[in-house]
Structure 1
Amino acid sequence: MDIRENDFRKLDLNLLVAFLVLMRERSVSRAAERLHLGQPAVSGALARLREFFDDPLFVRTRSGMQPTSRAMQLESRLKPALLSIHQAVFEGMSFDPSRSEQTFVIGMPDWVEIWLAPRLFTAVRRAAPGVRLSIVNTDPFRAAEMLERGEMDLAVTPVQAVPAWCRQGPLRRMGYRCVFSSANAPRAGLSLRAYLERTHLLVSYRGAFESAADEWLASRSLARRVVFATSRFGILPSLLEEDMTITTVPEMLAQSWRGLDGLRIAPCPVPLPEIALSQLWLATRDSEAPLRWLRETVGAAAKRNTRGRSG
C-alpha cells in the first residue's frame, strides 16, 4: 500500500507516542512525567488526538481514565508500528557486542591474517563471544572490487588508490625484514653483498619476479636472483630450510615467525618504502554501529606493540 502523505498533515509522530503513553499510564499527570512535559502540553496533545480520530479515546470514570474501544483498536495497531519505526531509526546507532550473534566477513592478505587474526580472534572472543568471524583472502588489487560486490564487510590490506565510494582508515606503518635459514646465516650479519649472494623468494600478487627492491638495485647497476614467486607468504618458511635462499617480508609477519626453529631474521639491507596498512569499507556503511565496532576492534588489535629484537 502506498503512503498518502496528505493524510498525515494534521498528525505528527509525537502525538502517537503521547497516545501510547496515555494508554499505559491512564493518567494525564503521569503521562506528562514520563514524557518530560507539562500537563497542559499533554492535555493539548490529547485534544488534538480526539479531534483527529473523531473519538474521545479516554472517558473519565471512578477508577480513572478508561480507553474507548477505538483507543483499544488503535493501540493494538500503533504499538507494533511505532516499535518498528524505533528499531529502524535507532537500532543502527547502537550495538551491544556482548549480545550480538552477527557474522563479519573480513578480507586480508595471508600475511596480515597470520599476524593479525590471532590477536583479533582473542579480542572478539572476550568482548563478543557470540560474534563469528570469516576471513577471506584478498590483496591490494582486489579489495575494493570485493567490497563493491558485497563479498566482505571490511578489508585489511595495504591500499594506494581508494575509490570515492570507499572509506579508508589507516592502521599502522611498518618496514620489512629478511628471513633466512639459521643454518646458513652470514657470519658478519646480512650485508648488501651477502643479500645479493643468496637466491631470493618473492611474493607477488600478479606473478612478477621484480619488486621495489629490484628497482632500487637496478638504479645502482646491481641485481638479485629471484628463483621463486608466489602469491602467498605462508609457504615461505618451509622453502627456507637448509638452503641459501632468503625472502623479504613485512616486519610484523617476520616477528610472528620468530618462534619457528631454524629461521633467522635481520634488517633488510635494501631501503624499501614502508607498508601503509589500512582498513577499507563501503562509504554507504560508514555509520553502521556493528561495522564501526569491528573497525575499532581491528584497530586496537593492530596497534598492540609486538616489537622485538631482530634475530
Structure 2
Amino acid sequence: MTAHDIGSLDVRLMRTLLLLLTECSVSRTADFLGQAQPTVSLTLKRLRDMFNDPLLVRSGSALVPTDRGLALREALEGILHQIDSSLGERARFDPKTAETKFRIVATNCLGTVFLPPLVSSLAELAPHISLDVSPMPDEHDLLSGLADGTIDAVIGNWPRPPQHLRLSPILTTDIVCLVRPNHRFAGRRGRITLADYLKENHLSPTSERHAHLSPIDGRLIELGKKRRIRATVPEYAIAPYVLAQSDLVFTTGRHFAEQVAQTFPFAVLDAPEELGRMHFYMLWHDRKHHSPAQIWLRGMIKTVAARMRALEDMVLPPLPPSPLDEALICGHEPMPSGKAI
C-alpha cells in the first residue's frame, strides 16, 4: 500500500472495510450502509487494489478474511474506536468518580482564608481528585503555564491582568494595614492618610522588580507615588513574624489581616482611601475553557468565593499557634530549642 493509497483511505472507507471484514458479506454490508450491492462490490474492488490483497476470499459458499484482512479488522476496530471516542460527544464529568489533579496558582494572601474551604469542598464532592496549589511564579512562567496547560486556573489580584486570558471576578475586600502594638499608628483612630502612609517603612510580599504586579504598589505607580519597602518576604505566612519584631507596616486585604490579628496582638487600620479596594479574580486560558472538568473546577472556586462574600462578617478561625507565636505574643525573644526562657 503506497503513501498515496493511505492518504485515500478516509474514515468512510475504513468503516466500509471493517463492515465487510466483520460481516463477510457484500449484501449484508450494503444493507447496513443503505447502499446498492454493486456500489459496495466496487468499493471492495477498490480496497483490494489499495491493499494489493483480496481481503475476502471464497470458502465454499461463504466469504472469509485473508490473513491481511484479519490483521486489518483488528487494527480498524482500534482506530475507529479511538476516532469515535475522541471526536464523538464529549463525556460528562462526574466529580464523584473522576481521578485527576488540578493545578491552581493563587496569590498568597488568600491562602489561609480561601484554600481551606476549597480543599474541604473538593474532599467532600470529589474524593479522588487532588489539588496542587502553587505560589505565584514570575509573569513569564505563569503565562507559559497557562498556555501549555500545566496551570488550570489562577487566582490573582494584580492591577492589570493580561487581556488575552479569560477572567471572572470572585472577591473584593477592603485594604488595611497591620502594625505591632507599640507602633505609632497602633492607637490612632480613623483611616491612615496617604501622606502618613508614605512616610513609613513597609513590609511587602512582592519584590521591587515586580512592583507593577502588586495591588498596592501597582496602584501607587498609577498615582505617581512610591512607598519605602524595607523588607520583602517570600510567603505571607512569614509576614506576621517579621512584623512582630519590627516597626514596619504590612498592607493586605481585610480577610487575611483579621485572621492574623486573632493570633498576634496587631492593630488593624484602614489603609489610605487612594489605594481603593483589593479585587481578586480567576484567570484561565481558552484551551481549558470548554473542558467539562475545568468548568466544574471553576464552578467550585466561584461557589467558595460566593460563600465568603455571603459571610464577610464571619469571624474566621485563628491561625494555629506555635511556640514562636506564644513567645512573640508574650513579648519574649524566641529561644533556641532545648533552652529555658
State the TM-score bracket (shorter-chain normalisation): 0.5 to 0.7
SS across alignment from 1:254: helix
**Deviation (angstroms), 1:158:** 2.5
Q: Given residue 192 of structure 1, which amino acid in structure 2 is its aligned partner?
A: I
**Deviation (angstroms), 1:233:** 2.3
Q: Counterpart in 1 of 2:162? A: 162
Note the residue ranges of structure 2 that are not aligned, 5 or more in a row.
49-53, 317-341
Aligned pairs for 1:72-87 (under 5 A) are 72-87=70-85
The number of residue pairs the alignment matches comes to 296
Query: Deviation digits for residues 205-233 of structure 1, max 9, x if unmatched?
Result: 223898367679998xxx98765443432
CA contact (8 A) 2:170 2:282 kept: no
Query: Deviation digits for residues 58-91 of structure 1, max 9, x if unmatched?
Result: 99x99xxx76224644421211111222344359
**Cα distance, 1:168–1:216 mapped onto 2, change above 3 Å:** closer
Q: Given residue 151 of structure 2, which amino acid in structure 1 is its aligned partner?
A: M
Which 10-residue stretch deviates more, 38-47 or 200-209?
38-47
- Taking the aligned partners of 1:180 and 1:280, their CA distance within structure 2 comes to 32
**Deviation (angstroms), 1:138:** 1.2
Instruction: Tell me if 1:307 matches 2:312.
Output: yes
Query: Deviation digits for residues 18-72 of structure 1, max 9, x if unmatched?
Result: 665787789999999xxxxx8671666855654444569699x99xxx7622464
Q: Counterpart in 2 of 1:35? A: none
Which 10-residue stretch deviates more, 69-78 or 141-150?
141-150
**Deviation (angstroms), 1:157:** 1.5
Q: Given residue 203 of structure 1, which amino acid in structure 2 is its aligned partner?
A: S
Aligned pairs for 1:184-263 (under 5 A) are 189-192=189-192, 196=196, 201-207=202-208, 211=217, 228-241=231-244, 246-257=249-260, 259-260=262-263, 262-263=265-266
**Cα distance, 1:114–1:76 mapped onto 2, change above 3 Å:** same
**Deviation (angstroms), 1:284:** 4.2
CA contact (8 A) 2:29 2:40 kept: no
CA contact (8 A) 1:174 1:251 kept: no
- Taking the aligned partners of 1:263 and 1:201, their CA distance within structure 2 comes to 15
Q: Counterpart in 2 of 1:69? A: 65
Please give the root-mean-square deviation of Cα atoms over the aligned residues, in Å.
4.9
- Taking the aligned partners of 2:23 and 2:95, their CA distance within structure 1 comes to 34
> What TM-score, normalized to structure 1?
0.67
SS across alignment from 1:99: coil
CA contact (8 A) 2:240 2:264 kept: no
Q: Counterpart in 2 of 1:133? A: 131
SS across alignment from 1:156: strand
Q: Given residue 178 of structure 1, which amino acid in structure 2 is its aligned partner?
A: C
- Taking the aligned partners of 2:163 and 2:218, their CA distance within structure 1 comes to 24
Identity, % of aligned pairs?
17
Which 10-residue stretch deviates more, 127-136 or 199-208?
199-208
CA contact (8 A) 2:147 2:287 kept: no
- Taking the aligned partners of 1:27 and 1:116, their CA distance within structure 2 comes to 64
Bigger strand fraction:
1
**Cα distance, 1:192–1:156 mapped onto 2, change above 3 Å:** closer
Of residues 298, 301, 304, the one that matches 2:301 is 298
> What TM-score, normalized to structure 2?
0.62
- Taking the aligned partners of 1:7 and 1:288, their CA distance within structure 2 comes to 32
CA contact (8 A) 2:26 2:41 kept: no
Of residues 148, 151, 170, the one that matches 1:172 is 170
